[in-house]
Structure 1
Amino acid sequence: MAVKMDEAAKRRVRAGRLLMKGKKPAEVARAVGAPRQTVYRWLGVLQEKGIDGLREMSKGGRPSRMRAEQLEELRQALLAGPVACGYGTDLWTLKRVRLLIEKRFRLRYSEVHVWRLLGAMGFSSQKPEKRAIERDEQAVAHWKKRTWPRLKKKPRREGRVIVFIDESGLSERPTRVRTWASKGQTPVIQFHFNWKQWSMIAGVSFTNAYFRLHEGAIRSAQIVAFLKALVKQIGRRLLIIWDGLKAHRSRLVRDYVDSLAGRIELAFLPPYAPELNPVEYLWAWLKRHALANYCPDSIADLAITARGKLKSAQRRTSLIAAFWKQAELF
């Protein structure tokens, strides 16, 4: 009587037959969805015991000592977060999860086994996003669901161009990102460690990007100058959307906008929600991609290079569209 194979056995047999056809372990691993090390182990069994050895071997490792209800309890604890489980910071590490399992279920696992367990449960190691405690999630949701759809109608109804505006800064200290290097030889970036910086102000419409660089901080006067340049360059009525920065609400800015008799209308993003502004993604592209690991010889060289990169962004409509997509405003 034929023995009914489980899914794991079927996968091992399939892998064995592919190996017998001359396929390489790496190819077989991709074909059957198994780790390459596991396929090498199966190859050893195949060479020693044949295809029947693969069919009969156990799936390897100790059977899980955690019951289904315990795994679900662990999942809920992980989703609740480390702080809810008594830790001082919101960071899950393998050590913390191991200690949590030991404390709750009286089971001792190695951190390697915890890593495998987390992977089997659908968890992965990820870099968390930063989010202000003061942020009002309901206000953010209301802006995305109610306010933004209403604002989008203004271009058709009033002939306005929507422009999101934001400010940022650049210094001679580089934005460091990963790069390839010889194993065991950590690359070194030498830079001028000082506090000199350029300030930037930029606007992003559906199809264009606009920017200016300034030495020192950007204040109300620089913001008004940028708005004047936008009015002149675009030549149409504008809907400016930006955050609640004090300078954006200053009397100088309000007086200038009032003097235009409706050519500029202002709207504000909810507090602590920079991800809603497409300009944030322009800054991210500039610092983490266009200027990544860049070490200028002087602050003047930094301004020249940054200006050149921003001009190249202006010519790339697909890049501008990507900023809007990342802000989830399309």
Structure 2
Amino acid sequence: MKDARYLSPKAQEAIRLRAVRAVLNGQSQTQVAQTFGVARGTISRWLKIYREKGEEALLAKPRGRPKGGKLKGWQAALICNLIRDRCPDQMKLPFALWTREAVGQLIERKFGIKLSVWTVGRYLRRWGFTPQKPLKRAYEQNPKEVKAWLEEEYPRIKQKAREEGAEIYWGDETGIRSDHQAGRSWAPKGETPVVEVSGKRFQFNMISAISNRGKMKFMIFGERFNAEIFIEFLRRLIRSNEKRKIFLIVDNHRVHHAKKVSKWVSRHKEEIEIFFLPKYSPELNPDEYLNQDVKTNAVGRRRSRTKEELMGNVRSYLMSTQRQPEIVKSYFRAPAVRYAM
């Protein structure tokens, strides 16, 4: 194969995209590097870019200085303040997120200056903004409970697991909807934006559990999440863990606290114990990052025509991820959950 460095920008873009997709679909980085004639370190770098900034960051960039007007200092300051303090819909713009297109329209509306998306992107990076995946954080969250969890409760659980030879898993359940929209919004570096979502088509549910050793278990189901389904998942989790005791950390969903579940767990206390995160604190659960991954890459980037097709896509994606422990481990590297590594 011709040295990739001497290919056209578009051809290089195609190689980057195909290489990343090949790794995500289960091939090893070494195999992919050999297939596309690049160094293994290059594949690792492309994967890092993809996970941090999304597929868009792998696309070819136009060469030369972008055409378009310039912003004066006071104009740039005003745009920065508007992006920090307001959402696009508050500015009467037809966007849910601060994308480059949304910022470009804001600039044109305010100052009559039309900029290309590339120029807008250059400005945003210069101003210290980065494209980020929006997260939701409940206002009901109690900071004192979160602090106690991080400094006292979780360290105790971790020590108890060592003493009993147990393995810690983090579990969560989520609804998968066919109308999920994947996207990133520009925001100041380190400040994650918030977005509300709506819409309804066909859907189903999944429950999963991951460990910081790279293990992952999951179950997909069509009915409403209830105590019977949760208990069935616990049975499967126990069977799959090679007779090693499990400490499962979950949120405060009412099903997790159901009497039927509590009685079942008490009868199997030699095999499993359940612990609960602080209320309204999904960002402390590493399994949330698996949920985001699935919704972004198995749902949001591939439209399904039927419920069965969507379930098949999600199941295939989860099985591929299950075979790649390093990807599962990467969910624990997000800043909010590094304490769980």
TM-score category of the 2 structures, normalised to the smaller one? 0.5 to 0.7
Counterparts in 2 of 1:261 and 1:318: CA distance versus 1, 3 Å = closer
C-alpha contact 1:174 1:294 (8 A) present in aligned 2: no
User: Corresponding residue for 2:162?
Assistant: 156
1:325 aligns with 2:330: no
Q: For this pair of structures, how many residues does the alignment match? A: 247
Decide which of 201, 217, 226 is 1:219's aligned counterpart. 226
Structure 2: tracts of 5 or more residues without a match: 1-63, 92-96, 115-119, 185-198
- TM-score, reference length from structure 2: 0.58
C-alpha contact 2:179 2:201 (8 A) present in aligned 1: no
Greater RCO (Cα-Cα under 8 Å, separation 6 or more): 2
Where in structure 2 are the equivalents of 1:158-173 lying within 5 Å? 158-171=164-177, 173=178
- Following TM superposition, the consecutive aligned residue runs of length 4 or more in structure 1 with deviations greater than 6 angstroms are 61-65, 77-80, 91-94, 108-112, 118-121
Report the Cα offset of residue 124 of structure 1. Answer: 3.1
Report the Cα offset of residue 210 of structure 1. Answer: 0.3
1:229 aligns with 2:229: no
Percent identity reads 25
Decide which of 241, 244, 255 is 1:247's aligned counterpart. 255
Decide which of 200, 204, 211 is 2:210's aligned counterpart. 204
Distance 1:223 1:303 in 2: 19
Q: Which amino acid aligns with 1:220?
A: A
Q: Which amino acid aligns with 1:249?
A: H
Larger radius of gyration: 1
Counterparts in 2 of 1:297 and 1:148: CA distance versus 1, 3 Å = same
Report the Cα offset of residue 299 of structure 1. Answer: 1.3
> Deviations for 1:215-248, whole angstroms, at most 9, x for unmatched residues?
1211011001111111122122111100010000
Distance 1:151 1:230 in 2: 19
User: Corresponding residue for 1:313?
Assistant: 321
Distance 1:110 1:146 in 2: 55
User: Corresponding residue for 1:270?
Assistant: 278
- TM-score, reference length from structure 1: 0.59
1:175 aligns with 2:180: yes
Distance 2:333 2:125 in 1: 32
Counterparts in 2 of 1:125 and 1:296: CA distance versus 1, 3 Å = closer
Structure 1: tracts of 5 or more residues without a match: 1-35, 41-60, 66-70, 99-107, 180-192
Distance 2:124 2:307 in 1: 46
Report the Cα offset of residue 270 of structure 1. Answer: 0.9
Where in structure 2 are the equivalents of 1:1-330 lying within 5 Å? 37=65, 122-124=127-129, 129-171=135-177, 173-177=178-182, 195-206=201-212, 207-234=214-241, 235-326=243-334, 327-328=337-338, 329-330=340-341
Q: Which amino acid aligns with 2:282?
A: P
Counterparts in 2 of 1:79 and 1:147: CA distance versus 1, 3 Å = farther
C-alpha contact 1:197 1:216 (8 A) present in aligned 2: no
Q: Which amino acid aligns with 2:215?
A: N
Report the Cα offset of residue 109 of structure 1. Answer: 8.7
Distance 1:313 1:294 in 2: 17
* Structural RMSD (CA): 4.4
